[in-house]
Amino acid sequence: MPNERISMSKLKQLIALQTSNLSVRAMGRALGLSVGAVSKYLRAVRAAGISPEEAETLPETELERRVFGPTPPGKPPRRVAPDCAWIHTELKRHRHVTLQLLWEEYAERHGAAAYRRSAFCEHYRRWERRLKRSMRQRHFAGEKLFVDYAGRTVPIYGVHGEESFRAQLFVSALGASGYAYAEATRTQALPDWLASHVRALEFYGAAPTILVPDNPKVGVTRADRYEPDLQRSYEELAAHYGTVIIPARPYRPKDKSRVELSVLLVCRWILARLRHQRFFSLDELNGAIRPLLTEMNDRPYQRLPGSRRSVFEALDRPAMRALPEAPYTFAEWRERTVAFDYHVEVDRHYYSVPHALVGHSVWARFSAATVEIFFRSQRVAAHVRSYQRGAHTTLPEHMPKAHRAHAEWSPRRLIQWGESIGAHAGSVVAHLLHAKPHPEQGYRACLGLLALVRQYGEERFEIACRLAVHLGSPTRKSVKSILESGRDLRPQESAELALPTHGNVRGPGYYH
């Protein structure tokens, strides 16, 4: 027998060729063997009595035993080739798994039939080089979710067949499995961008460790290789799901090769199939995308075992973190400077903040229902969202003391307060509110009356108001003069004054 045994595949070819009319020399040229080797193997096959039909059905181990006989003692057994697909999967399962560890497990499993470490690694490297270049980047289970918009858009038509707008295509893909998500949105603006993230995470049913966008202006306000500036709402979404955002480096396509490949597959397997259809709404387009997306994720890999879905369920899903109970609620952030009237503007409406923050820079966070104001990361105000342009929403506790006292009083309340003291006090208050050219002036005058009541008491105040009315001067200055001079304390002044009846004389009833 030759020193080195022929492979089982060549042995089967040789057995099949022995029934042909080829010479030994021709068979040797066909199989890459010498004439002597072909002759010796043919004698061994004929001695074993193995026909071509039987050779096709025999297991390789049985064929080897019958042709070559049992392995002599002390001769090393045939090597067991490493399972390169299994190695590739295990390297992605955990970042601390190494080829050294996998070789040790392989060697322990196969004993003397295992290759040495160098041959083991070389087997895997040769197999890995046959993979597509974009797939050679090492991704760990559940670690990265790549997100991007496809370059292609889909027209959405109106009721009369005219093109209404072009829908954008959002695509995401997990690093380890390539499990993809795709949906159509109306725009690439911030609300659609963040809403697509929320729906993608709900599709996966879990959150990754890292989100990897491609430096879109909607999510990255300043692209930088080392310290990019992120949009505040995008950061808030990441914090809500317990993940972080690490944009791909500018002009580094390898950083996002996984999503680039997924975008290409979505264009080929989904958009290309829909090219002859006309869509009249986003819901209709997304309804057509979903079954094709499922089919794409279930397609078997060409060079690896399983599919995107099966690898996602085996690798990515167990390593990802659970979603929070409530999904992220979209809110925008804008930096504002507190105006001199202690209000900040959000979409042409003005919301109050504590008056001590006048002139300071604050952040306004506003959703569809609420507006929150933050100063140095501390919330200092919260309001119900109002869409009335040019109006103000003001909380009393935000106002200075003087403004607060002024704002708490309405005309009706001021008149009721005056009447609670006495009829003449009510007449003076009513006169002040209606006699001034501007309501603000009447409020201020009435607040002056409040100060007089606190200083002189309600009884003296009512008498002073009665005297002022009888004198035809129901003003704050008259009431104050009477109280300061003490005229209300004189019995003859305090008595009811008898005034002549005349058409030009106005009595107290005039002011009611």
Percent share of the chain, pLDDT over 70: 82
pLDDT of residue 77: 56
> How many whole angstroms separate alpha carbon 213 and alpha carbon 196?
13
The encoded tokens of residue 174 equal 């997990």
Choose the weakest-confidence range: 48-57, 194-203, 251-260, 464-473.
Answer: 251-260
Percent with pLDDT over 90 in the chain: 26
The answer to whether 194 touches 328, Cβ cutoff 8 Å, is: yes
Name the band, by pLDDT with cuts 50, 70 and 90, for residue 399.
Answer: confident
Over 70: is that where the pLDDT of 2 sits? Answer: no
Give the three-class secondary structure for 229: strand
Res 3: pLDDT:
46
Phi, psi values for residue 183, rounded to 5°: -155, 160
Q: Each residue of 311-363: pLDDT tens digit?
A: 899 888 998 999 999 999 888 889 999 987 789 999 989 999 998 998 899 99
Domain boundaries, the chain: 8-68, 84-130, 144-319, 332-400, 409-511
Helix (H) or strand (E) holding 344: strand 343-346
Q: How would you write 355-383 as a 3-class SS string?
A: HHHCCCEEEEEECCCEEEEEECCEEEEEE
Q: What is the pTM of this model?
A: 0.53
* Beta bridge mates, 185: 168
CA distance 342 to 350: 9
Please write down the HEC assignment for all residues of 133-179.
Answer: HHHCCCCCCCCEEEEEECCCCEEEECCCCCEEEEEEEEEEEECCCCC
Neighbours of 185 (CB within 10 A): 20
Task: Please give the pLDDT value at position 503.
Answer: 56
For domain 144-319, which CATH number applies: 1.10.10.10, 3.50.50.60, 2.30.30.100, 3.30.420.10?
3.30.420.10
pLDDT at position 134 is: 43
Unique residue bearing structure tokens 């507190």: 338
Model confidence pLDDT, tens digit, residues 76-107: 557 788 888 778 777 776 666 788 888 888 88
pLDDT band at 389 (very low <50, low <70, confident <90, very high): confident
Q: Other C-beta atoms within 10 Å of 70: how many?
A: 8
pLDDT at residue 171 tops 60: yes
**Does residue 135 have a pLDDT over 50?**
no
Q: What is the pLDDT of residues 270-296, one digit of tens each?
A: 888 888 899 999 999 999 999 999 998
Q: Tell me how far apart the alpha carbons of residues 393 and 301 are, in angstroms, rounded to a whole number.
A: 59
CA distance 386 to 371: 9
Please tell me the distance from the alpha carbon of residue 413 to that of residue 332, in angstroms, as a whole number: 40
Q: Which residues contact 68 (CB under 8 A, 6 or more apart)?
A: 1, 5, 44
